[in-house]
């Protein structure tokens, strides 16, 4: 097995755990980053090609320390990142009625967490003049999200971080893109009842306007992501790809 590795943040989430399993099954070396829970990863954590980092992405010092320690122990060379970790809006109120602390927490988790992850990993990529990065955004970056202004703002910021890093790191052969899905079919069992109701109402209306008349699947997301991370992609960088079933 080669020493190259892929990093997946938010690895216990719906999308993150699917990607983790796909790459682990391919026998890639996989570094999974989680904040606390690992219940969706139980079937792959015993694999020798899978390692786990438990850290809050908001804690730069802890993340950097654990990341460097893992690389020292494994001698792995990370060359790819899929950043799926996200904090969702959960108060479901218009901006004028939103608790300032909730707004700040979502911005902090999504934007600062993204900065910290890239700040830790990009210097490692630079040493080997190679890296492929995917940041997960959302279609709300172009259409907004009523009762979810912090989430919409943070996803727009992520897309622009990607565009900026693409320009900064092109000379280092580091490619970065944003994948921004519309509605995704996921396991909602762990969500609160209020959030499940919010998703049901929101998606019911959104799916009506999708030409393909369905939500995106994990397979839809993986197909594009796998290409963007592959050796076949040597030129596409700084782009935001909307996976919306034909909905503009």
CB 154 within 8 A of CB 103: no
Query: Could you tell me how far CA 132 lies from the centroid of its own chain?
Result: 13
pLDDT tens string 230-247? 999 999 999 999 999 998
**Rounded to 5 degrees, what are φ and ψ at 147?**
65, 25
Using alpha carbons, select from 25, 18, 163, 176 the residue that is nearest to residue 84: 18
Radius of gyration over every alpha carbon of the chain, rounded to an integer in angstroms: 18
Which residues partner with 136 through β-bridges? 179
Its CATH class, for the domain covering 4-243, is: alpha beta
d(C-alpha 245, C-alpha 206), whole Å:
11
In the predicted model, what is the mean pLDDT of the chain?
93
Domains of the chain by residue range: 4-243
pLDDT band of 215, cuts 50, 70, 90: confident
d(C-alpha 63, C-alpha 65), whole Å:
6
- What residues have CB less than 8 Å from 17, skipping those under 6 apart? 11, 40, 41
pLDDT tens string 72-82? 999 999 999 99
Residue 197, pLDDT score: 77
DSSP letter for 182, please: S
Residue 191, pLDDT score: 67
- 22 pLDDT more than 70: yes
Residue 201, pLDDT score: 75
d(C-alpha 70, C-alpha 50), whole Å:
11
| Residue 75 buriedness (CB in 10 A; 0-12 / 13-18 / 19+) | exposed
Residue 208, pLDDT score: 82
CB 44 within 8 A of CB 22: no
Tell me the mean pLDDT in the region 23-36: 95
Which residues partner with 133 through β-bridges? 81, 176
pLDDT tens string 38-62? 999 999 999 999 999 999 999 999 9
d(C-alpha 77, C-alpha 71), whole Å:
7
pLDDT band of 188, cuts 50, 70, 90: low
pLDDT tens string 102-117? 999 999 999 999 999 9
- 216 pLDDT more than 80: yes
d(C-alpha 28, C-alpha 45), whole Å:
13
Residue 190, pLDDT score: 63
Six-digit token string for 6: 């892929």
pLDDT band of 204, cuts 50, 70, 90: confident
Tell me the mean pLDDT in the region 134-148: 95
Tokens 């034909």 — which residue? 246
């Amino acid at each position: 097995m080669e020493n190259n590795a892929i990093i997946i943040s938010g690895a216990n989430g719906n999308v993150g755990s699917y990607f983790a399993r796909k790459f682990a099954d391919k026998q890639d070396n996989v570094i999974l980053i989680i904040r606390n829970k690992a219940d969706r990863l139980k079937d792959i954590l015993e694999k020798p090609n899978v390692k786990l980092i438990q850290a809050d992405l908001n804690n730069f010092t802890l993340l950097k320390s654990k990341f460097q320690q893992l690389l020292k122990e494994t001698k792995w060379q990370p060359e790819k990142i899929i950043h799926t970790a996200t904090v969702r809006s959960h108060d479901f109120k218009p901006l004028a009625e939103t608790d300032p602390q909730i707004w700040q927490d979502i911005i902090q988790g999504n934007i600062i967490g993204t900065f910290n992850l890239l700040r830790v990993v990009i210097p490692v990529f630079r040493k080997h003049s190679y890296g492929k990065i995917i940041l997960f955004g959302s279609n709300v970056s172009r259409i907004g999200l009523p009762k979810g202004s912090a989430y919409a703002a943070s996803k727009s910021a992520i897309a622009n971080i990607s565009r900026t890093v693409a320009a900064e790191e092109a000379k280092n052969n580091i490619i970065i893109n944003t994948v921004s899905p519309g509605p995704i079919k996921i396991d909602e069992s762990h969500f609160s009842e209020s959030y499940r109701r919010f998703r049901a109402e929101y998606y019911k209306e959104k799916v009506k306007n999708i030409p393909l008349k369905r939500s995106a699947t994990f397979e839809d997301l993986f197909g594009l992501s796998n290409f963007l991370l592959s050796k076949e992609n040597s030129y596409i960088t700084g782009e935001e790809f909307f996976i919306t079933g034909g909905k503009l």
